[in-house]
Structure 1
């Protein structure tokens, strides 16, 4: 029989060698095997358990597993890994070897390999060479993940399969980012998941719209909140998860559209090294490295380090940018029960406003070249914007046994955001003459986020429970000491059709903008996923209670004045979530959920009375399906979100607010990701989102659509991986169609619909044992002019023109 035998890495002791096979089945050990390739999972299982596992590579080549995370007996572990694969296992007489066989040739779990039908002869190198991105497959460096993911931890903070999860969640995988050469988080998200679009605030901080509502700068990292982060890089990311709808039950005070959770790369036991050089349009160059492996012979200590250096000019006159990013990680794994990861990040970005904005003329964006710089290089080039951040964090997990574990995470981040830009004060739409103002905000932000999660599995009669009990804490300090905001004699008027810039004299204005802001919140949450009827019905029950206090004070005199004028606002609230998933067939589920969330504080009224927090509720229902042996996944969802307590200007004192505002977002969305067959992979999505104002002090606003929220949007990306004589060649292409959007809350101008076409080609080959990949991507192939977002009539974001990006990657 042609089989591949996997050495476990350590010989049995005499005592172990004498243990009968049946007793070995009951051994309990800790496993952390990610979802993915069946062959890779079996290799890892063999190493941890000390067993020798024999299997046929051609049988396992296209198979995937949902992975194994926790303490399991040998029997339970193998049962879980092979579940739904059509494979079974048998122990040999010596109790140290396991044969993986086709289930139809087996009559059950046995302790010997007799009676197994001979499997075909294998090609031992085939598994190593085959990295065609089957669903969940992880090649060298965990890069070849495919386009679909079997689970997403952000949804429930557990490893529950997406098919059984009664909420909408999408995952942008590592291979998706690599195939599309997505350097920024924005590039990774806006075409690869439904109902996600660029937020106009993205010119300063990373922010998105999900289901019509802004994420309000809230981006999570491994389940921990971050705030006011900018120019986030994808170098050290394994995936990006989008949890849609109000997520307050698990994550506290978040916006109702959903959250973005960044899942970082983890150290690997197998050494891996990658070097990539990229070069593209407008003088862009980027050098990236990724290295991982064991630090000690026993693999107790592991490391990983990712980073890059990038410099680019721009299609916009005078604009340029530079970015340095490095992210090391150390893992300590002394035994089967405990694992500790310690992370650090450093990033330094310097730029001369690379985000082009133009005003509206009439009901459309002004007709000016997209390369035209409408700020003043005399100010911005002499005072470039700078973002620096330093991050350190950890997470550890201790498994008490195969059913119970405790996890603690902590993240501390300190950042400086020195933003220098000019903006329009007013514009004569007939002549194009515009007044401008100066915006200089040296802001220092420090935040700490931590949580503690106890997870357990138990049964009560016919019911199986997946329990989560936890608490979290977040605190942030934000200080602006010497900002400037307003009219400046050095920032003169400009004509948008015939601009004349300033003299180039460096300008340091007298500060007139000082901010003192503090935010603290803590929460306790409880969640139970109850499964019944042979794992076909899953009821989700959860609730959270939050306590929060915040202050945000501004002064034009001094920082001390801002601090002395601060008023602390206290809020507390309960946020429930209930969901139900029904699986009539293993590949199909119907789900629904109801959830509420607790939003940000809104300040005070004219009488210095704190405003109630924003609240939101959602009804959602849909269908999920898996096809072609789980290689292709699909989700269809209907949702209805209402956000209340939105502040609107007080008619008696416009400097303050009252709570009359309300908005509703109702829509449907569809996502399709994975493999159609051995050659074709697909990412497709569509969203229809009707997001409108339903209450407002200004009655004229009622019924108007929310800005930068397209009514309809769709994306399709296809990739072909060649086999046979053209093995290693991949060709891909995509199209994005976005409907027209309203430019502001008054709905008095529109951003026109647009279509973008993207393409890629890559070829992978070997040179002296190293894998080399040459790749070329063309973004916006037709050079379309488009406007993806708008803040108001004077701040419309311009999309990038045709961009060519080539790369060479060497891996070994």
Structure 2
């Protein structure tokens, strides 16, 4: 066996780190074909890894080798584990993936996941405007909100109104994987998923503080502390937190958040790591989901007016949203020898929500001036918990002909939802010209009181086979078993149990030229359990999908740059479609096809100059459905969007540390009705930033939607349109030592 170090560092068969507090195995040995009967492995280096702290590049940092779960050095990530569940170079991964690290998050001052993904290809976030409750995502034309949110490789399943929201300050990196991923993750959307890698205890001391505030009376404080605990270098800790008090874009609504995340790592030796990750978050807000009519937002209403963007359709007397969410789990890894490594990820997640408000429901019938908005009362108090565990065994070896990276795994998920939903009607209408608040609705009548338990067991296998030094073949398969129990407490006879199973697979081929060019092709299938039942009391079947993708990646030698292009053709079946004969029923007869093209670039063009660009265009079409939607584009989904961000920090001279940046975002038109007769126009937004760094200090001013463009993000019906973000100015000062 031949071991080769790509950076010329000392190569070891197995590291023993007793007494070495700054040592860690950071490079997972990547198998290469090095000749018959040999395996040439990339670097296994002994290196101290510094935590990012969200501080951008202020202050000195120690040299480090990037790992799939560690900090991104600058803007350009080179490795990821989301697409393969193994530490794999992005340039050798035959699937589209984008990685946003803390430096980019800091430079753009993204305060939600939706904002962090604004400059990534293939994803349309903030579909319903700046929703203060949760983040909404559409990936390659399909919703990924419910089943597409993952944290550290484990799903944060959210259905009904029991949802989670992750503060990006607690993220080391945000990874967007496009295309089917069920082969590794089980039930997940066909378009792709979002995986947040949590900040973990650093091996070197980390101290970071930040204060900021700005528009809508926002004020916040954030801290990130960590490092070794004992002189022997076996124990490490991290404490991350963010406290915010703010008003929302909508009048009379707060946007307060309290987030804290303690974590610790135990490393008894160089082969074993045990990390405990915990977090607690409380969100207090309101005014969510302003359901406004098409005429009065996208187009003028009868009097030629448009509704004020800050109008609260609800009522401050009753409007309120509170969520408490908690996560506790661990990540365990042990390397037995040069071949075998085992891992286990475990997490328990809990979310408890209370959401009460009045919801807009179009203009009052007969109101010819279109000034009176009809409303109804809504109340929900769901509680949901998830237990998720993923156990893996990875073997890197050579069979005498080819080098293998074999992954075997089994995962288990148990999701339990206690749901309560009620409505009150009628509620006094709201005059858009002179709104009157202090209105009390009638009694709330429950229409959904139920419990739902979903359990999923998956067995999966994947092999990345190095056929030659440059050609890699990926093959994977998975068998899932899913049971769903729904107990209807209002109508016990409507309680149901469903059992499903599905096999999903993935094939990929990528060729790496010496000049950094890597064309690839991949095919994969997906499935995703659909909660709920039809009017006949039968549980819905899982929706399914398949995709073919052809693309290329380019990582020119000597350049800190990654360019990607991809063309895809994917189809989703068993889509829920409204029943033309019964508005309270959905038919599972739909199929939607998405064919498109994506391009992206992430680069550090020169010392201090960073670039992020993306472009997406696709053709979304209902290929199977009812007479209402057949051949139409699904509502609320733009088919074209692009973005460009540049940021420059002067590296030397009298102005050293001074920097500025700016971005432009374009979102194409979408439709507000199934018949595609009501069009929501496209829009262009501009962002800007000015910052200064010196001696560990960083001061910055960021502006989102700098021109204060008035626009509608999307409409889901003619009576449910959503204004986009107003101009937001954020000032911040941070110190790292």
TM-score by length of 2: 0.88
3-state DSSP of counterpart to 2:344:
strand
Q: Distance in 2 between matches of 1:339 and 1:232?
A: 25
2:15 pairs with 14, 29, 36, which one?
29
Query: What is residue 661 of structure 1 aligned with on the other side?
Result: 590
The question of whether the paired residues in 1 share the 8 Å contact of 2:66 and 2:78 is answered with no
Q: CA-to-partner distance for each residue in 1:523-580, whole Å, 9 max, x for gaps? A: 100100111222x1011100101100124455xxxxx335663101111010010011
Instruction: Identify unmatched segments of 5+ residues in structure 2.
Output: 1-9, 32-37, 47-56, 301-305
Instruction: Give matches, 1:427-442, under 5 Å.
Output: 427=363, 428=365, 430-432=368-370, 433-442=372-381
* 2:604 paired with 1:675: yes
* 2:680 paired with 1:751: yes
Q: Do the aligned partners of residues 646 and 26 (structure 1) sit closer, same or farther apart at CA in structure 2, a change above 3 Å counting?
A: closer
The question of whether the paired residues in 2 share the 8 Å contact of 1:276 and 1:288 is answered with yes
Q: CA-to-partner distance for each residue in 1:166-185, whole Å, 9 max, x for gaps? A: 11011111111011111111
The question of whether the paired residues in 2 share the 8 Å contact of 1:194 and 1:714 is answered with no
Greater alpha carbon shift after TM alignment, 472-481 vs 410-419:
472-481
**What is the deviation of 1:658?**
3.3
**What is the deviation of 1:778?**
1.0
Instruction: Give matches, 1:290-305, under 5 Å.
Output: 290-305=224-239
Q: Distance in 1 between matches of 2:435 and 2:487?
A: 37
Query: What is residue 103 of structure 2 aligned with on the other side?
Result: 175
1:522 pairs with 440, 447, 457, which one?
457
* 2:94 paired with 1:166: yes
Query: What is residue 664 of structure 2 aligned with on the other side?
Result: 735
Query: What is residue 23 of structure 2 aligned with on the other side?
Result: 48
Query: What is residue 40 of structure 1 aligned with on the other side?
Result: none
Query: What is residue 80 of structure 1 aligned with on the other side?
Result: 42
Q: CA-to-partner distance for each residue in 1:120-166, whole Å, 9 max, x for gaps? A: xxxxxxx99667x999889xx97773111101211001111111111
Q: Do the aligned partners of residues 513 and 135 (structure 1) sit closer, same or farther apart at CA in structure 2, a change above 3 Å counting?
A: same
* 2:726 paired with 1:804: no
**What is the deviation of 1:605?**
4.8
Query: What is residue 438 of structure 2 aligned with on the other side?
Result: 502
* 2:626 paired with 1:626: no
Q: Distance in 2 between matches of 1:431 and 1:567?
A: 47
3-state DSSP of counterpart to 2:135:
coil
**What is the deviation of 1:515?**
2.6
Query: What is residue 379 of structure 1 aligned with on the other side?
Result: 318
Q: Do the aligned partners of residues 25 and 152 (structure 1) sit closer, same or farther apart at CA in structure 2, a change above 3 Å counting?
A: closer
The question of whether the paired residues in 2 share the 8 Å contact of 1:604 and 1:611 is answered with yes
2:466 pairs with 489, 507, 531, which one?
531
Bigger radius of gyration: 1
Instruction: Give matches, 1:134-149, under 5 Å.
Output: 145-149=73-77
2:156 pairs with 211, 214, 226, which one?
226
**What is the deviation of 1:231?**
3.4
1:360 pairs with 294, 300, 307, which one?
294
Q: Distance in 2 between matches of 1:143 and 1:576?
A: 31
Instruction: Give matches, 1:35-434, under 5 Å.
Output: 47-48=22-23, 68-69=27-28, 80-81=42-43, 145-200=73-128, 204-218=133-147, 219-228=149-158, 229-361=163-295, 364=298, 367-380=306-319, 384-427=320-363, 428=365, 430-432=368-370, 433-434=372-373
Instruction: Identify unmatched segments of 5+ residues in structure 1.
Output: 1-23, 33-43, 50-65, 84-95, 97-126, 555-559
Greater alpha carbon shift after TM alignment, 158-167 vs 203-212:
203-212
The question of whether the paired residues in 2 share the 8 Å contact of 1:333 and 1:339 is answered with yes
TM-score by length of 1: 0.80
3-state DSSP of counterpart to 2:318:
helix
Considering fraction of residues, name the structure with more helix. Answer: 1
**What is the deviation of 1:375?**
1.9
Query: What is residue 579 of structure 1 aligned with on the other side?
Result: 508
What CA RMSD, in Å, does the superposition of the two structures yield over aligned residues? 3.0
* 2:413 paired with 1:484: no
The question of whether the paired residues in 2 share the 8 Å contact of 1:30 and 1:70 is answered with no
Greater alpha carbon shift after TM alignment, 272-281 vs 310-319:
310-319
Q: Distance in 2 between matches of 1:797 and 1:617?
A: 31
The question of whether the paired residues in 2 share the 8 Å contact of 1:392 and 1:412 is answered with yes
Aligned residues: 696
**What is the deviation of 1:628?**
5.3
Q: Distance in 2 between matches of 1:694 and 1:79?
A: 47
Instruction: Give matches, 1:696-735, under 5 Å.
Output: 696-697=625-626, 699-725=627-653, 726-735=655-664
* 2:619 paired with 1:690: yes
The question of whether the paired residues in 2 share the 8 Å contact of 1:604 and 1:656 is answered with no
3-state DSSP of counterpart to 1:331:
strand
The question of whether the paired residues in 2 share the 8 Å contact of 1:28 and 1:402 is answered with yes
**What is the deviation of 1:378?**
2.7
